[in-house]
Structure 1
Amino acid sequence: MGEFVRTTDGTGYQYTDNFIVTDEVKEQFHRDGFIILRKFLDAEEVTNLRTALEQDRALEDYHYARDDGQGRQTKTVNWSHPGDDITGMIGRSEKAAGTMEKLLGGEVYQYHAKVVMKEPFTGGAFIWHQDYGYWYLNGNLFPDMGTVWIAVDGADKTNGCLQILPGSHRAGRMDHVKVGDQAGADPERVELLAKLCPLTYVQLDPGDALFFHCNLLHRSDQNHSQNRRWAYLVCYNRASNDPVYKHHHPNYTPLIKVPNNRIKECGTKTSTEGKIFFQGPKRDRDLAIEVLERTA
């Protein structure tokens, strides 16, 4: 994928309570398609989040897996609406939602949130894709969307960290095709863009966060290491970009933002109340078959 391979080591902004989305930060986001906030969650917050997720029964009850086309899978839990537990407080916090509003230029709501779990030696890969490659098909007419990708565990080249093509979002949405259970961007177009947008490995410490645009091309390798790689993601949509189709993610639902200190106040609380869990591609197919059999 191009001659030069880079990492994000030594880059990004150090997050503090005084962090401001300046014109410089906005310019970088619009130019590169992403920014990194180091220590976005402090040591206590990320420890509480990790503990909460590890004891959360929902990760076992609602997870699904997508085949990577190479015999491996990564477990994912995906839900709509933030709720009032620690995951919800992070998604509703000023430092997450408020920062994304400034980057996207207007009010946002939670499109969905998810936990991605790449287990040691077995975690699968994700092929090159844009989130908007399929969010567009859900009726979101404009790419006024973005994701906050938070490292629960350390993420590096050895355990399948995210890879990106900086600036690729400016090429616009690309056609996507099915590969296994995944949707991937046009490989020829990706190859051409990689010559201009050097492949970059997003190496993050626990608590670091990547804020990225929905058209940024990204992928990740399988986890061949002994180190787990879990991540918590919150995906946002501009309120003005209300989907024109009803689908499995929510239409505009006002997001009640909270001060950052509410994250610590939650401790390790988890709850399924108010959340609507996505059942995954296989379960959706099974349900569809069941309905057809009942109505045949």
Structure 2
Amino acid sequence: MYLSKDDVQRYNQDGFLLVPDLFSAGEVQRMIQEIRGGERIASAEINTSDSLGMKVKLTYWENLIGDIWSAASTCPRVVNNVRILLGEEAAFFHGKVMLKEAHTGGAWEWHQDYGYWYDQGFMYPRMLSVFVALDAATQLNGCLRVLKGSHKLGRLSHGAVGGQTGADPARVAAAEELHETVHCEMTPGSVLFFDSNLLHCSSANDSDFHRHSFIMCYSAWDNPQQTENGFVRREPCPVGADDSI
């Protein structure tokens, strides 16, 4: 399940690429079970809020420790496709699980991932995210929305929007006039690869259906990160077995 030249061309043009059923139903079910009872999820939960004060829950980590999330993050179906899209060796940056619960899950404001990651010291936007739908993602339960081709705008200014960091609202409004809005409806196990400068957001979940998702983030290995101790480069992401989840 590796991407073709046409896939790469479409990704570079649009800033995102949807790949159906990259993970099997059994793999998705094991990840859902881990959300319900896994130690990593219970110990790493973060709560924030959107501009209307609705709660947004997620977990976040930067280390690979041999659990199911690490197995997915080193799965060749993921890592090798990340390498293909970046055109170079990839380093694992972080993973997170988004918990957009039925009736209570808040919105994510318009933002670019590099709008956050720039402030974490990454010198170049040679980075991307791999978004895995663990439940059906629909417009009803607040699926991801993207502005097609907006990664070509470059990094926008970001600031506080509610309890989140969001892109400059005036600039987003202008971008919405120039770029098509795409609702990324996804079946469980489908994956959205998207550029770190792609503008994206999601609505609150007012439906009866949970929308859980798992996101893996990567940087080009040769993308230096500035720290208090100078520049560092993360290790190339290991590639595990295809059946390890």
The answer to whether the superposition gives a TM-score over 0.5 is yes
Which of 206, 221, 225 pairs up with 1:239? 221
**Displacement after TM superposition at 1:58 (Å):** 3.0
Matches of 2:122 and 2:128, distance apart in 1: 12
Which of 202, 205, 219 pairs up with 1:223? 205
Is residue 74 of structure 2 the alignment partner of residue 92 of structure 1? Answer: yes
Residue in structure 2 matched with residue 207 of structure 1 by the alignment: 189
**Displacement after TM superposition at 1:246 (Å):** 5.2
Matches of 1:109 and 1:241, distance apart in 2: 9
**Displacement after TM superposition at 1:141 (Å):** 0.9
4+ residue segments displaced more than 4 Å? none
Q: Secondary structure at the match of 2:79?
A: helix
Letter in 1 for 2:131: W
Residue in structure 2 matched with residue 150 of structure 1 by the alignment: 132
**Displacement after TM superposition at 1:253 (Å):** 2.5
**Displacement after TM superposition at 1:186 (Å):** 1.2
Q: Secondary structure at the match of 1:112?
A: strand
Is residue 27 of structure 2 the alignment partner of residue 45 of structure 1? Answer: yes
- Percent of pairs identical after alignment? 33
Letter in 2 for 1:226: D
**Displacement after TM superposition at 1:251 (Å):** 4.9
Which of 95, 100, 103 pairs up with 2:85? 103
Residues 246, 149 of structure 1: CA spacing in aligned structure 2 closer, same or farther, 3 A cutoff?
farther
Is residue 22 of structure 2 the alignment partner of residue 22 of structure 1? Answer: no
Matches of 2:166 and 2:210, distance apart in 1: 24
Residue in structure 2 matched with residue 164 of structure 1 by the alignment: 146
Which of 168, 172, 181 pairs up with 2:163? 181
Matches of 2:69 and 2:40, distance apart in 1: 12
Which of 44, 52, 64 pairs up with 1:82? 64
Letter in 2 for 1:136: Y
Residue in structure 2 matched with residue 191 of structure 1 by the alignment: 173
**Displacement after TM superposition at 1:82 (Å):** 2.0
Letter in 1 for 2:118: Y
Query: Number of matched residues?
Result: 243
Letter in 1 for 2:239: K
Matches of 1:161 and 1:85, distance apart in 2: 27
Deviations 1:52-92 (A, max 9, x none): 22111332332111110212111110001222121111100
Matches of 1:258 and 1:167, distance apart in 2: 32
TM-score where L is the length of structure 1? 0.79
Residue in structure 2 matched with residue 282 of structure 1 by the alignment: none
Matches of 2:42 and 2:208, distance apart in 1: 21
Matches of 1:45 and 1:108, distance apart in 2: 23
Residue in structure 2 matched with residue 280 of structure 1 by the alignment: none
Matches of 2:89 and 2:146, distance apart in 1: 26
Note if contact 2:79-2:90 (Cα within 8 Å) is conserved in structure 1.
yes
Matches of 2:129 and 2:228, distance apart in 1: 21
Matches of 2:228 and 2:51, distance apart in 1: 30
Deviations 1:1-47 (A, max 9, x none): xxxxxxxxxxxxxxxxxx33221111011000010110010111111
Matches of 1:226 and 1:191, distance apart in 2: 30
Residue in structure 2 matched with residue 68 of structure 1 by the alignment: 50
